[in-house]
Structure 1
């Protein structure tokens, strides 16, 4: 491998932009009346846009899972008869929605579930719900919106992939005291899927104990999906599941409820989260046909070579795959005799997993994206001033050259989120140095591999815009970019109605919106002389939580 450290030619507001940089127009997707926040997901070469909505307005309330005769609801609701008739006032509707969302966040089997994040596609100037395994019902007057769904990628305008749960179902159970209890459970947790038209196909993992686990990340033009799937249950899961199936050890609860509770854990503070380590997981490629059916599945191992450890050591995950079927991602690697494992960038091809960056001093690192020109981009976790930062690199598979990119400044955490076949990378990076915190304001960036120019996307927008691009999520081969922007928007209640203050003025709040950036072909405007130009300083917001969790998940050390 030819190893070089080349700092990018950073383009700041005080310097001239490269000749290749073109200005962009900003188009906000019209979702203000649909949810609190909207996050861009992806855009393919046909222009199909995928987005994620957070906390949709007007969620359905399932009264089958609410005991209106209980003292709790009798005391909490102001007009219980109106609730029974399905027409609650705003106060009661707000209370019930918060009650259900709290139960959902705690993975409760006793309450209705509402997905905090739901996936939509944007086509013909309108949004269409990506239902995955959701179903319409007469009781709710439509879809349940119960399963949290995040969309990851699409190809050819037809095949949409994402990750979801479900489906959920209501179970009535008579306990030993003769009380009838109503439970709400999911059939499985964390399942990748592909949706073609109205047909959804689950991308099932190799091992389906307790439903198994699979996550998908990318799909290429030949309908090959890159992700990760469970290949074997842990010993603890096998024992716990056996106890659930045994009437004597299960206790006074349905089998499905016992199994659902195995998937979660409760911390000392009472916080409930998904339980980790239930399965051994490995990088998986699913090959699909034009209708979305699975025609072949290939499971890859790790970079651990010791025969006695190879079966269960560490994990691997495929994060992207190009048109040639070459996938990249991460895999565990043994780097010493002390059983220490570190995450390393890996190539998955023809059933074989190989290490991409041989230098142990650069561990841990990961390969996040690959294009059809065999360029790979990823990150290396590097400690700078005792704080872990993500440093972006570009790797050429054809020449083994690797270039590290400094971002907006040397200690800027830089996360590439997508790369197109024009060799343009987009993502998010720290745009300002803030001491005393691990979180910094961020801005969306564009990096041109050929000219080695690193550009703040906000510098390419029209002067005076009220959008601040905090993260670029995807770019297609026409250089159209999907991004998340922060802006001021009116506060709305749970029904989507705009709230006003005592003087009748709208109350504004920081909001994240999904925007499409279209290149104009013209040079960017010089906004430095415009006194009314909004100062664009990058923002830290909830959307970056996903980026931080994603990076944390691929950089793991194990003893």
Structure 2
């Protein structure tokens, strides 16, 4: 729980009528080197962190690819791409020889082809790894990249762009926490019984939690178990009244006999480097949450002094204890913490006396995990994502069908009163994502607004605990902009609500379409093309009256379109784990 200030009285004592207040929208800066920018957290002082995706000019390395050998994957991919162009009666603009000579850095079509090719080789350690996401700090005038663990590559003449980049939380005095991965590097390795060396892309470890102070200094949060690399992430930070900080997340604490034996059988350093084999093992056993279940993971808490040295580190608890005859991987994770030292999160537990593979929502207190809500089936799952300083926990509950999260609904649980309740939805069956709660009991998130269709649009909401309905934030915005045109923003997701009820959100807006090199695209007539892009916005409550806009079916494209695109962008691996809309790469 990042909110440490006393709740402001702007809506104090009011019920749902408070939600009739209008909001003034301020567009926050987008990162100039990407299409989409989002906000992941902000503090009471207006300091903002986020991320950018669909980056321009990703550095592509082709030096290790054999373009001349017949039957290679690259030749098959090119033939398929060429056929695709022919089907739409167009001529491909590059050859494989062009790609070999660097066309991916000058020809947008070649760049896009190579990005698609590398994506399809994502499970092979013999191809370059790229991550299409960076972390951001956002000021009133500029969105700047915050490098976590990436390094400069002399060969690429840029950062490797091979690492995960996730900033999750920022304290009220501006200290940031998150997680990332180690950069990939190329290495030559000759497999057993072969005469020629092959190129492999390897890294030292998968996830590491990170703390970044206001001076920009970085401090890594090491896991308790580091064999094979280990893993840790940091999801929330609180400034302590006595000085120093408390950070929560998860950390690897061990490995099961089954996982270790599997590693020993498959990772002998004969057909690939050991680092590449560990990477494959982690990918092979990643679960529905995307967690590296190669390890036993535990909700974890690090206490830091004012110099950001770790003075203590401890497990927060887990919902199931392994018996002597069991070898299941067990894990838990903390997603947020409040000033009473209670953390919200989730854990593996038992169902019908057996360890269940589905996590459940709960909270951690005094070294114990307490499950929230009741389950009547093994496929029921959920996660608690935030907790305020009044000990109210919010999160999601859902069902799992064919490895897919379904029927996601929000809930809140008052620990003090032992009161559990589901949060209303836009309509019966509308799936919901909860993101944040402030001390005044206002909750924000995102929900489906359409009952039918394959691309169901989702829009941001605000909700006051105890009210009968949620309110679509878009209904609290103007119908027209200052020029009299249709309001150009749609709030796709509300991410953060401060103690003064300011809302940081992800909006969708129509912008000029740019190719993968950042050049504005035009159609055959020379006309600029447009697309929907996500961007961060600040919503400030005002005393205005809610406008009655025209019916949705007659509103313009800008007001009604695009929510699906930001949701598609954000529902990437680990969206179910994340408290914010972050990707663990």
SS in 2 for 1:264: helix
- The 1:339/1:296 distance shift into structure 2, 3 A limit, reads closer
Alignment of 1:122-141 (within 5 A): 122-141=138-157
SS in 2 for 1:494: coil
SS in 2 for 1:541: helix
Match of 2:407 in 1: 389
Among residues 460, 471, 491, which one is paired with 1:444 in the alignment? 460
Aligned length: 523
- Superimposed CA distance per residue, residues 116-148 of structure 1 (whole angstroms, 9 cap, x where no aligned partner): 222111125112222111123444334222212
The reply on whether 1:179 has 2:203 as its aligned counterpart is no
SS in 2 for 1:492: coil
State the 1:252 CA deviation.
4.5
Match of 1:510 in 2: 532
Aligned residues: CA RMSD = 3.7
Alignment of 1:11-160 (within 5 A): 18-31=17-30, 33-62=32-61, 65=64, 76-78=96-98, 83=102, 90-91=106-107, 94-96=109-111, 98-100=113-115, 102-103=117-118, 106-160=122-176
- The 1:388/1:182 distance shift into structure 2, 3 A limit, reads closer
Contact 1:444-1:458 at 8 Å conserved across structures: yes
SS in 2 for 1:41: strand
Contact 1:244-1:255 at 8 Å conserved across structures: no
Name the CA distance, whole Å, in 2 between partners of 1:301 and 1:377.
19
Question: Could you list the runs of 5+ residues in structure 1 that have no partner in the other structure?
Answer: 1-15, 268-272, 555-559
User: Structure 1 or 2: larger strand share?
Assistant: 1
Instruction: Decide which moves more: 69-78 or 23-32.
Output: 69-78
Question: Could you list the runs of 5+ residues in structure 2 that have no partner in the other structure?
Answer: 1-14, 76-93, 480-485, 579-585
State the 1:512 CA deviation.
2.5
State the 1:334 CA deviation.
2.0
Contact 2:60-2:114 at 8 Å conserved across structures: no
The reply on whether 1:377 has 2:401 as its aligned counterpart is no
- Superimposed CA distance per residue, residues 455-487 of structure 1 (whole angstroms, 9 cap, x where no aligned partner): 101011121212111211222223222222223
Alignment of 1:87-486 (within 5 A): 90-91=106-107, 94-96=109-111, 98-100=113-115, 102-103=117-118, 106-173=122-189, 179-196=196-213, 197-222=215-240, 223-242=245-264, 249-265=268-284, 277-304=293-320, 308=324, 314-337=330-353, 340=356, 343-357=359-373, 364-381=381-398, 388-434=406-452, 440-449=456-465, 453-463=469-479, 464-486=486-508
- Superimposed CA distance per residue, residues 226-249 of structure 1 (whole angstroms, 9 cap, x where no aligned partner): 22222211334323444577xxx4
Name the CA distance, whole Å, in 2 between partners of 1:456 and 1:292.
41
Structure 2 length as normaliser, TM-score?
0.78
SS in 1 for 2:470: strand
- The 1:155/1:262 distance shift into structure 2, 3 A limit, reads same
State the 1:113 CA deviation.
2.5
Match of 1:487 in 2: 509
Name the CA distance, whole Å, in 1 between partners of 2:167 and 2:412.
26
- The 1:259/1:388 distance shift into structure 2, 3 A limit, reads closer
SS in 2 for 1:391: strand
Match of 1:3 in 2: none
State the 1:342 CA deviation.
5.2
Among residues 548, 559, 567, which one is paired with 1:543 in the alignment? 567
SS in 1 for 2:17: coil
SS in 1 for 2:205: strand
- The 1:38/1:357 distance shift into structure 2, 3 A limit, reads same
Contact 2:316-2:364 at 8 Å conserved across structures: yes
Structure 1 length as normaliser, TM-score?
0.82
- Superimposed CA distance per residue, residues 293-315 of structure 1 (whole angstroms, 9 cap, x where no aligned partner): 32221113322368547985643
- The 1:351/1:89 distance shift into structure 2, 3 A limit, reads closer
Contact 1:43-1:481 at 8 Å conserved across structures: no
